Amino acid sequence: MPEFLLPDPGEGLTEAEIVTWRVAKGDTVAVNDVILEIETEKSLVELPSPFAGVVDELLAEVGDTVAVGSPVIRIGGDDEMTDAQSDTLQTISDEGEGGGAVLVGYGVRDAPSTRRRKPRTVQNPPEAKRPEVPKSMPAVGASPVIAKPPIRKLAKDLDVDLAQVEGTGVAGEVTREDVVGAAKQASVFKNLEAPEWSGERDERIPVKGVRKAIAKGMVDSAFTAPHVSVFVDVDATRTMEFVARLKKSVDFADVKVSPLLIMAKAILWAVRRNPHVNSTFTGDELVVHHYVNLGIAAATPRGLLVPNVKDAQDMSLLELAKALQNLTTTARDGKTQPADMQGGTITITNIGVFGMDTGTPILNPGETAIMALGTIKQKPWVVDGEVRPRFVTTVGGSFDHRAIDGDIVSRFVADVASILEEPALLLD
């Protein structure tokens, strides 16, 4: 009766924690059905079954830490494996940077899933020339709220009253940013209500998995690389105008566009002018990378993850926007794969989404630079000798002073700032 041995999903791991079993004793499984989720030091990984048959026994429980190569499940069936089962158990090496042994069949897109999808409801098309008015009209004397159906749904999901939101669209319509901004504002007041203390005087949380890896990585980075940090205030008004134009573009209709996209493109531009910031210091040599695997620090329910966009330097603005959207969505859903967090060369941390102006980020281990984008908000700013309201942000970064000196650091940050001040420079 075949047993499934816990594989190394491509990270050189020695152990992993069982997070969820997708099957139970007596269930029938097919080759490549997802049978369990494990938490490694870097990510949450779904593992497919290399066997077809009936689950005879689960050999590990949720919460157990299991050594790689140990049996975790026994599946009843023919002892002789089919060709498909044999192929699933083979291991191959990644062809990209930082490759490792991975289980074939792991991550197969068209693999059958044990999850059932809800049937999709097809709605009747809207009638021609139907006026865009809300079903529930506001009180007499009040203006109707202008908002597209997706925006109304977003407002409902975020518990935002559209009647209380001032639309900033061209025709006065409520935009996605208006709804999100209102939700953030509401959350500030909701968070004023502090929860009650729990009955226990102390709560003990085991440090393991991602949190353990983060702790080790940050200590290694902080006490190995001498950090130097610099900051500059930037008039990002034209970046905000550029973002607004992109959002109205047909090409970007289904893509999330934010100032982070312009920041990412600015870093790629500045790296070409200051290549030594995109490097790794080994002690004996400085390895300058002629490609950019752009890391994005993402806060997730499982902790800080830093997946990266591979070969971002070759992407158009639209391709980069799609890659960033896929990367952040996957990270927040807890589906980031180990390979997506390997081989990063430079990182962005967007602390502005939390309302922070600036900070002193710690380098991602093995990298020479990390850039921080603060919140963008209107402030008084001197333009041509006059004080005007402008959208202002703070751009900062930390650098490994073993690898680069202050002049390179300053030029690099100034280049990034110049793009945020005038995105048209990207067209040069």
Q: What is the rounded distance in angstroms from the CA atom of residue 85 to the CA atom of residue 104?
A: 10
C-alpha 413/C-alpha 263 separation (Å) is: 11
Identify the DSSP state of 312: G
Instruction: Take residue 81 and report the two structure tokens written for it.
Output: 């494996």
Cα torsion for 181, 182, 185, 187, to the nearest 10°?
-110
For residue 10, is it left (φ>0), alpha (ψ between -120 and 50) or beta?
Answer: left
**CA-closest candidate to residue 76, choices 92, 58, 89, 95:** 58
Contact 28, 8 (CB under 8 A): no
- Alpha helices by DSSP H, listed for 16-134, are 83-89
Query: Whole-angstrom Cα distance, residue 65 to residue 209?
Result: 10
CA pseudo-torsion sign 127, 130, 134, 138: negative
Residue 239, both tokens: 């970046």
Residue 2 structure tokens? 């075949």
- Are 137 and 127 in contact by the 8 Å Cβ rule? The answer is no
Cα angle vertex 262, ends 260, 267, to 5°? 95
Active site residue 289: no
Q: Are 327 and 296 in contact (CB under 8 A)?
A: yes
- The first and second tokens of residue 285, run together, are 């040599």
Q: Which of 227, 289, 290, 401 is catalytic?
A: 401
Q: Would you name the residues annotated as active-site residues? A: 401
